[in-house]
């Protein structure tokens, strides 16, 4: 039932239950613009789908090379997405090397506090998705609960951090497989992302500062404006990073970003943020107060610019200009040190 | 002259996850209640304009993430607050304990200048109550806070809560003003974010600054 063709899903005015996208999300407000985009995008999807099938026929192993990188940047078709994510991130290899491990995590005695914390977020994870609603038949809430509980015991330093519920949810929607979702969580939190979710959230704080530095360099006027409001990056973009753009950008766009995230690493998160900010410089510079800035950052993630995922993905590799991993690494080290020094000075 | 002034207050909502902080703000500022809302991860604020005994009050109400580790992102939400609304769920004893931690933290960071409210939310679920009314009220009194019972779902107690809080914050601001003497350029109040400005129409951010097409 999950594999529903978006193109077959004709909206009937007045029947809100029909306004559901191919991932199960109800879209009462933007279904028509979503449909319109998908009708355009279907041509790209078909073309990419053929190319990918041919590539995977020739080379069933997903390699790290320029051709595959180019292919990933142009989008992984949904039928190959789980496989490519698993292979590119090393999750497949981990899963194969530890058979039965996931099940053993579920079978062990569980931390009551952790279980309760996860439980609290069950009805607050995608209540607008027909598969995650508590009354859904063969609903995914139980699967979601399992993946988060297993992960919390697997990585006890992190346990459960809010935001992980949305990430696990997307993984479940795409892989339709509990164990694969667990290993992709492991790849993301253990290898691809810095320590965003640990209790001190140091990796997240660092990346917010890194983004601030990049903005200062690439759009000095915006950097100057933001500097008037201490702590503002936390207010306007922490969710972008914690949720890896879930519920910030349209789902199709988020999945295209995740294609690159699994294949190329966390740098793409900065490309997306920078593109959004650079593209809306004029609007940001018009802001006269903190509420103005917050509103502007909310608005800039909506509309045609981010809905058209194919064009948006081309933009993120051109608009911010060059952005090397070594630049990011250096900035991360510098900002991390600054934060630690500042915190050690605090009483 | 005083009658022509506008008070601007910052109020922060704090409390454990899932006690109803977002629902309280949404009910108060937009008169909405949504059973299907998602976990709050990023602090945000809504504004409300009031007129109390002829004086204008602009409230900025800050909603925060409930999970403790998000406080690592910085104390900026409550740093300049004039008031704090500490929310617990009347059916959840743990959430009331969390309120006690918040009282300690805020008194330590902001002293006695901040007006504290302790709010037992979800009284529509009173049959499952796990926090006794007497305990909650006597605790609130012992720490100089006012106690309220609310239901965001049924829209009960919320108007009273914020109206009372505003009156208390106005009294605090007026007392500070008197203590510093009128016209003192940099009073503690202005440093803390109480802006008592001459009343003139302000450029409103309504509609936002970006036209999304």
Q: Are the Cβ atoms of A127 and B212 closer than 8 angstroms?
A: no
Residue B198 has what pLDDT?
A: 47
DSSP, collapsed to helix, strand or coil, labels residue B13 as strand
CA distance B173 to B188: 10
Residue A208 has what pLDDT?
A: 97
Backbone angles phi, psi at A115, to 5 degrees: -60, -45
Residue B96, exposed/middle/buried by CB under 10 A (0-12, 13-18, 19+)?
A: buried
Q: Are the Cβ atoms of B213 and A294 closer than 8 angstroms?
A: no
Residue B113 has what pLDDT?
A: 84
The Cα of B77 is separated from the nearest Cα of chain A by a number of Å equal to: 9
Band of residue B183 on the pLDDT scale cut at 50, 70, 90: low
Indicate the range of A137-141, A263-267, B111-115 predicted with least confidence: A137-141
pLDDT tens for A62-117 read 889 999 999 999 999 999 999 999 999 999 999 999 999 999 999 999 999 999 99
Q: Residues for chain B: how many in total?
A: 213
Closest CB to A199: pick one of B42, B47, B72: B72
CA distance A4 to B172: 60
| B-chain residues near A205 (CB < 8 A) | 72-73
DSSP, collapsed to helix, strand or coil, labels residue A149 as helix
Residue B3 has pLDDT above 60, yes or no: no
| B-chain residues near A295 (CB < 8 A) | 205, 208-210
CB of B102 within 8 A of CB of B84? Answer: yes
Of chain B, the percentage scoring pLDDT greater than 70 comes to 82
Chain A contact for B109 (CB, 8 A cutoff): no
Q: Are the Cβ atoms of B38 and A126 closer than 8 angstroms?
A: yes
pLDDT tens for A292-304 read 999 999 999 999 9
Band of residue A9 on the pLDDT scale cut at 50, 70, 90: very low
Closest residue, chain B, to A247 (C-alpha): B38
Residue A171 has what pLDDT?
A: 98
Q: Are strands B5-14 and B83-89 parallel, antiparallel or unpaired?
A: parallel
Query: Residue A99: in which H helix or E strand, if any?
Result: none
Closest residue, chain B, to A33 (C-alpha): B213
CA distance B134 to B117: 16
pLDDT tens for B135-162 read 999 999 999 999 999 999 999 999 999 9
CA distance A177 to A64: 25
Backbone angles phi, psi at A263, to 5 degrees: -90, -40
- pTM of the predicted protein model: 0.89
Report, as an integer, the average pLDDT of B81-100: 97
CA distance A239 to A242: 5
Of chain A, the percentage scoring pLDDT greater than 90 comes to 87
Chain A contact for B206 (CB, 8 A cutoff): no
Question: What is the average pLDDT score of chain A?
Answer: 93
Residue B206 has what pLDDT?
A: 40
Mutation pick from A231, A280, A284, A307 vs chain B, by most beta carbons of B within 10 Å, is A231
Chain A contact for B41 (CB, 8 A cutoff): yes
| B-chain residues near A128 (CB < 8 A) | 36
Closest residue, chain A, to B207 (C-alpha): A295
Closest CB to B65: pick one of A162, A284, A289: A162
Please state the ipTM of this predicted complex: 0.85
Number of H helices, E strands in chain B: 6, 7
Closest CB to B17: pick one of A162, A199, A298: A162
The Cα of A127 is separated from the nearest Cα of chain B by a number of Å equal to: 5
């Amino acid at each position: 039932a999950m594999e529903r063709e978006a193109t077959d899903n004709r909206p009937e005015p007045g029947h809100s239950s029909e306004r559901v996208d191919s991932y199960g999300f109800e879209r009462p407000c933007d279904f028509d613009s979503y449909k319109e985009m998908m009708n355009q995008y279907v041509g790209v999807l078909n073309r990419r789908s053929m190319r990918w099938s041919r590539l995977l026929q020739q080379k069933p192993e997903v390699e790290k090379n320029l051709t595959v990188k180019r292919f990933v940047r142009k989008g992984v078709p949904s039928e190959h997405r789980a496989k490519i994510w698993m292979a590119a991130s090393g999750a497949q290899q981990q899963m194969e090397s530890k058979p039965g491990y996931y099940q053993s995590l579920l079978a062990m005695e569980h931390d009551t506090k952790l279980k309760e914390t996860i439980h609290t977020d069950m009805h607050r994870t995608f209540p607008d998705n027909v598969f995650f609603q508590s009354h859904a038949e063969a609903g995914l809430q139980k699967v979601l609960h399992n993946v988060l509980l297993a992960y919390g015991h697997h990585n006890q330093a992190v346990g459960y951090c809010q935001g992980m519920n949305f990430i696990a949810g997307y993984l479940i929607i795409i892989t339709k497989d509990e164990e694969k979702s667990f290993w992709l969580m492991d790849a993301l939190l253990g290898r691809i992302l810095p320590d965003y979710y640990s209790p001190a959230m140091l990796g997240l704080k660092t990346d917010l500062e890194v983004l601030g530095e990049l903005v200062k360099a690439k759009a000095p006027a915006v950097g100057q404006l933001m500097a008037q409001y201490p702590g503002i990056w936390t207010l306007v973009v922490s969710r972008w990073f914690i949720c890896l753009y879930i519920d910030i950008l349209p789902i199709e766009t988020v999945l295209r970003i995740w294609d690159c995230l699994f294949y190329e690493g966390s740098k793409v998160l900065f490309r997306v943020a920078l593109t959004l900010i650079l593209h809306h410089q004029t609007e940001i510079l018009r802001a006269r107060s903190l509420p103005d800035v917050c509103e502007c950052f909310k608005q800039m993630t909506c509309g045609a610019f981010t809905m058209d995922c194919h064009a948006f993905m081309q933009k993120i590799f051109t608009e911010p200009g060059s952005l090397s991993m070594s630049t990011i690494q250096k900035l991360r080290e510098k900002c991390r040190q600054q934060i630690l020094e500042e915190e050690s000075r605090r009483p | 002259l005083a009658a022509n002034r506008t008070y601007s207050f910052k109020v922060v909502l704090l409390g454990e996850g899932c006690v109803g902080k977002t629902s309280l703000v949404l009910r108060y500022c937009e008169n909405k209640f949504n059973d299907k809302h998602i976990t709050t991860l990023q602090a945000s604020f809504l504004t409300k304009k009031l007129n109390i005994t002829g004086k204008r009050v602009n409230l900025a109400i800050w909603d925060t993430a409930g999970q403790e580790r998000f406080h690592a992102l910085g104390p900026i939400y409550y740093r300049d607050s004039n008031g704090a609304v500490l929310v617990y769920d009347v059916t959840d004893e743990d959430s009331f304990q969390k309120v006690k931690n918040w009282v300690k933290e805020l008194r330590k960071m902001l002293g006695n200048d901040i007006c504290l409210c302790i709010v037992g939310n979800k009284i529509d679920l009173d049959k499952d109550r796990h926090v006794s009314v007497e305990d909650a009220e006597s605790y609130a009194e012992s720490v100089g806070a006012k106690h309220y019972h609310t239901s965001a779902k049924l829209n009960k107690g919320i108007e009273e809560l914020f109206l009372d809080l505003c009156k208390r914050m106005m009294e605090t601001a007026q007392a500070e003003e008197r203590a510093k003497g009128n016209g003192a350029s940099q009073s503690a109040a202005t440093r803390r974010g109480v802006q008592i400005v001459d009343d003139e129409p302000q450029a409103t951010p309504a509609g936002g600054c970006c036209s999304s097409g």
